[in-house]
Amino acid sequence: RWDLTLSPTLECSGTAITLFQSPEEGWQLYTSAQAPDGKCICTAVIPAQSTCSRDGRSRELRQLMEKVQNVSQSMEVLELRTYRDLQYVRGMETLMRSLDARLRAADGSLSAKSFQELKDRMTELLPLSSVLEQYKADTRTIVRLREEVRNLSGSLAAIQEEMGAYGYEDLQQRVMALEARLHACAQKLGCGKLTGVSNPITVRAMGSRFGSWMTDTMAPSADSRVWYMDGYYKGRRVLEFRTLGDFIKGQNFIQHLLPQPWAGTGHVVYNGSLFYNKYQSNVVVKYHFRSRSVLVQRSLPGAGYNNTFPYSWGGFSDMDFMVDESGLWAVYTTNQNAGNIVVSRLDPHTLEVMRSWDTGYPKRSAGEAFMICGVLYVTNSHLAGAKVYFAYFTNTSSYEYTDVPFHNQYSHISMLDYNPRERALYTWNNGHQVLYNVTLFHVISTSGDP
């Protein structure tokens, strides 16, 4: 409220006068008194910031800023995930140069057998030449993308400061183009078919037989927080550890008390929020850690719950949430699908189902499942001797049976989830928190820039 002094052309009648056509967008003046010199003393009520005509554009700018920030974080995740691959490829390039130099310098000094061995080794490595060149090109593309993100962030910040958003549509198109190119780079560099699972790495032994633990798949590399949720039903306590080292030592943590209890162990942390199944319902809940509040919750249409369609180990595991390079997924089943696994892409903001696939694989026969690069991988058991037995490809709506063994060290897996940032499987195995590295085979296409 502001107190104003106006000329006596406005009669001091105590009525409200709206200065704009729409009362929701206009200022209102309330006459309250008359000064000795004949002027009216009035009170002006300014509309709330959110209803100003210009604030809509300000809000759009903030949303664009958030998108650019997400793109920047995704780029950091992409670089982190592909670092090992790039190091390996560069090592192969050094080896190829060394072999080539030795072959050129041989000049009869090598025996026929040694010379042939070198030649055979060189022949094996020759197909990597095109891969090496493409990796170099992709690295340059990432550098260009990073520079574009930096420039766009600066433009948005300057416009937001001056509030002269005259190039908004152009900026929006640039953000959308950057998102599309980043997604293409992620698919090209980081994705592939699962061909191997490493030996287990036991991080800690903590909690009961069932539970889940995870890191944020969208967090920058500097953020190494770990979330820990013990038990598979009616739990509400989530522990947040500052780093993996703190989790191992059991120190430096805070507690979140969820407003609604969870069911199962198929929770996931994605971009600062926890996605979980509300106990005794088919409701998906999105809980934001920073604000300690539920941002949105929504029923998953037709999804079974309360041990209607769990994994083979039971434990209210009817609904399993996952994140891969493509985004947020839900794995569940319905009566209409006769108990077969359904995979659905979810909008992480609204939790609406964007698209669904019926895999044809009975969920009660599955030990656990996880998503990598849009492919659902299913294990045939949760006990010792388990292996990755089935793969469903959402991009082609097709499936195949696989045979990828992994060592189930503690004989009872109740949580298995892929983290695309670290290219690792997080596992809760009979009260032990375990990691597996994965090997992905990917063919690099050399046609066009992402």
- Domain membership of residue 184 (yes or no) is no
> 154 with 197, same domain?
no
- Domain membership of residue 78 (yes or no) is yes
* Res. 151 pLDDT band, cuts 50 70 90: confident
> 139 with 267, same domain?
no
The DSSP string of 197-247 is: E---EEEEE-S-SSEEEE--TTS-TT---EEEEESSEEEEEEEEESSHHHH
Which pLDDT score is estimated for 265? 98
The Cα–Cα gap between 275 and 190 comes to 24
> 159 with 200, same domain?
no
Pairwise pLDDT comparison (147 vs 236), residue with the higher score: 236
387-322-313-203 Cα dihedral, nearest 10 degrees: 70
> 408 with 266, same domain?
yes
**Does residue 102 have a pLDDT over 50?**
yes
> 280 with 378, same domain?
yes
- Domain membership of residue 19 (yes or no) is no
Residue 431 token pair: 């009260």
> 100 with 210, same domain?
no
The three-class DSSP label of residue 11 is coil
> 308 with 431, same domain?
yes
In terms of Cα–Cα distance, which of 178, 184, 181, 180 is closest to 152?
A: 178
Which pLDDT score is estimated for 422? 87
Choosing from 145, 163, 181, the residue where a domain stops is 163
In percent, the amount of the chain with pLDDT more than 70 equals 66
- Domain membership of residue 37 (yes or no) is no
Which pLDDT score is estimated for 319? 98
The CATH number of residue 327's host domain is: 2.120.10.30
What is the rounded average pLDDT for all residues in the chain?
A: 80
Residue 48 token pair: 């709330």
> 128 with 227, same domain?
no
- Domain membership of residue 34 (yes or no) is no
> 328 with 403, same domain?
yes
φ, ψ of residue 26 to 5 degrees: the values are -100, 165
Is the dihedral angle over the CA atoms 391, 181, 422, 246 positive or is it negative?
A: negative
Residue 218 token pair: 């969208």
Choosing from 123, 142, 163, the residue where a domain stops is 163
Question: Tokens 């009669």 sit at which residue?
Answer: 11
* pLDDT tens-digit series, residues 427-449: 999 999 999 999 888 655 444 44
- Domain membership of residue 43 (yes or no) is no
**Does residue 262 have a pLDDT over 60?**
yes
| Cβ atoms of 213 and 274 closer than 8 Å | no
263-266-269-274 Cα dihedral, nearest 10 degrees: -20
In the chain, how many domains are there? 2
> 150 with 231, same domain?
no
- Domain membership of residue 42 (yes or no) is no
Which residues have a Cβ under 8 Å from the Cβ of 412 and sit 6 or more positions away? 209, 313, 382, 383, 429, 430
Residues in the chain: 450
**Segment among 187-196, 315-324, 378-387 with least mean pLDDT:** 187-196
> 243 with 329, same domain?
yes
> 367 with 226, same domain?
yes
Residue 440 CB coordination number (10 Å): 15
- Domain membership of residue 354 (yes or no) is yes
Which pLDDT score is estimated for 114? 75
Query: Where in the sequence is the domain holding 346, given as residue range(s)?
Result: 192-441
Residue 138 Rama label (left phi>0; alpha psi -120 to 50; beta): alpha
Choosing from 122, 146, 163, the residue where a domain stops is 163
Which pLDDT score is estimated for 57? 61
| Cβ atoms of 24 and 48 closer than 8 Å | no
